[in-house]
Chain A
């Protein structure tokens, strides 16, 4: 069992932070949308489309950062689409989100065939984001090994979490968002533009999901593979719920899911556990997600009733 102890090391926790990053971006996206009263089941699809767009844009331009921006833009566009359907035309949010998820699977498969000649994913080199090391932080023992060297998107995730918290809970803008989610009629009476606020939040939600996708394809693997998000959009929603729709709570939950993911990957590679089939390990994060959702009973009170707001 020596090896089992050996995998619990600095590398595991660094991987935890990496695996937590796309989930945290997604969860933050979920928070913005749901705080404004729109369920965004389409996070998964927005992530996948973002991952695809990032790789195409990065390959075509030769710049990974351009790829990241393109992924954010496309995520925002899909957010806008979700907004048009659910906000402007009061459509069913779950149906629209599911439509976006299926669209993403179809669109990325179709475009992969068109761009790379195979629906399976990208071929050829993809300019990816390289890791940066934070000078002083890097030299601290253990902690430096865990958080000292990552791609910039990992650090950006932490910054966005803080910014989201401040924006949502310490500014009039955030108060407006939460008012729109909790009591759209009252918010309307108070002179807040309910539709505009909802649109904005759903677009932000999509942009964050696009960023999550860009991290997966440009900050983590440097390739696009069809269906590579593998349910992370849904896990992000679970992290959002577990974190009680609060940015730091969602970050904490994302780290937990990230740990499960990092651990299962290491367990898979362990010599002593080779006798066990990989499927058992791959399923761990999904089972954990179900268990977590079942465990938060009574504590998870949504910030909105998510009914489409129709002006009198």
Chain B
């Protein structure tokens, strides 16, 4: 009995410690989130001015957006449907960023991953789902990884600037997949798309009638895994060391080239997995240029999320809402859909310069923890 009480005490101590740590971390992250939140608010203010100047009512537009995104179960489902691929592309951006690399071509890796997953999905009928789904997901990850590997090797071996190469390869991916679904893998009919994948490769829809699929669980799992990999594994340590100080990392015996190739390839794999999730869960086929720009959304979400997986999960909901609510807003108020992209860009621009936010706060006479 004494042992049991001892055990209970130990467990409660341990749980209490964990909770305290979590609380402490949350508390510490609040001031860190302040510039992010202000950036979002400022973006919406500038967006409102844009709306006013072009003769729309910001209140009506934002109101319709909010109702569309969160007003009912369907809206919420669509918001999370839109948030899902963004989580993947944001994690992809994050992983490369931690190594000091700007992977702005997640869009291309996403598309290639989506297509390779679709290929597996439309082949191998008769496989049990517990083999077919993982196989298609792996194919997606490998496709994306390959599309990240090319600029990775070119960067490490030849010094080719990854910002330009990943961007260029996005265009190549767009045209390559467009070719694939217009010619060799075109389904009968007018639309440039593949045939439907076999039901055995379908990720289950979890909130009918919305398109929300089990891909979102994969996204959340991947967020946890990314954080774990970055903070608790050798690869993650090396990646972060290179990102923080390449020469110090090299002195410490880390191969910069190997680390960079690893980081950008994994980044591509994450984006590719996101594409696979879209094909297997949302669309059930590859449709020509089906991504409305999830690659860019990912970049914005990673930055607004404070380059942390938890922040990414939170920010992805905001950007998913911009997309799903934006559609409602356009239907109801006729405000052009692109206001969403404008807001997204404004958030990025405000997040780009934390000093700007600090300056504005100071001018406004607002005191803030860190300043």
A interface residues (Cβ-Cβ under 8 A, vs B): 41, 81, 84-86, 88-92, 94-96, 98-107, 109-111, 113-114, 119, 230-231, 234-235, 237-238, 241, 277, 279-280, 282-283, 286-287, 289-290, 293-298, 300
Contacts and interface: CB of A to CB of B under 8 A. Distances in A.
Contact of B341 (A95, A109, A280): A109
Contacts of A287: 168, 172
B300 A102 contact: yes
Contacts, number: 163
Contacts of A234: 163-164, 167-168
Q: Which of A88, A89, A90 gathers most chain B CB within 10 Å? A: A89
30 contacts: A84-B356, A86-B352, A88-B356, A91-B355, A95-B348, A95-B352, A102-B300, A102-B344, A103-B345, A103-B349, A106-B339, A109-B336, A109-B337, A111-B54, A113-B338, A234-B167, A234-B168, A235-B168, A279-B176, A279-B179, A287-B172, A289-B165, A290-B151, A290-B154, A290-B160, A290-B165, A293-B161, A293-B164, A294-B165, A295-B158
Nearest to B183: A277
B346 interface: yes
Contact of B336 (A110, A277, A282, A295): A110
B171 interface: yes
A293 B102 contact: no
B82 interface: no
B110 interface: no
Interface size band for B: 35 or more
B271 to A, nearest CB: 16
B164 A238 contact: yes
Contacts of B164: 234, 237-238, 241, 289, 293
The 9 A-B residue pairs with the shortest CB-CB distance in the complex, in nearest-first order: A106-B341, A91-B353, A103-B345, A113-B336, A109-B338, A99-B348, A279-B179, A89-B353, A293-B160
B299 interface: yes
A208 B337 CA distance: 30
Contacts of A90: 353, 355
Contacts of B354: 91
A96 B171 contact: no
B291 interface: no
A277 B184 CA distance: 11
Contact of A231 (B159, B168, B336): B168
Nearest to B56: A114
A95 B307 CA distance: 13
Given A283-B176, A295-B158, A100 B165 contact: no
Contacts of B151: 290
B171 A286 contact: yes
Contacts of B165: 289-290, 293-294
Contacts of A231: 167-168, 171
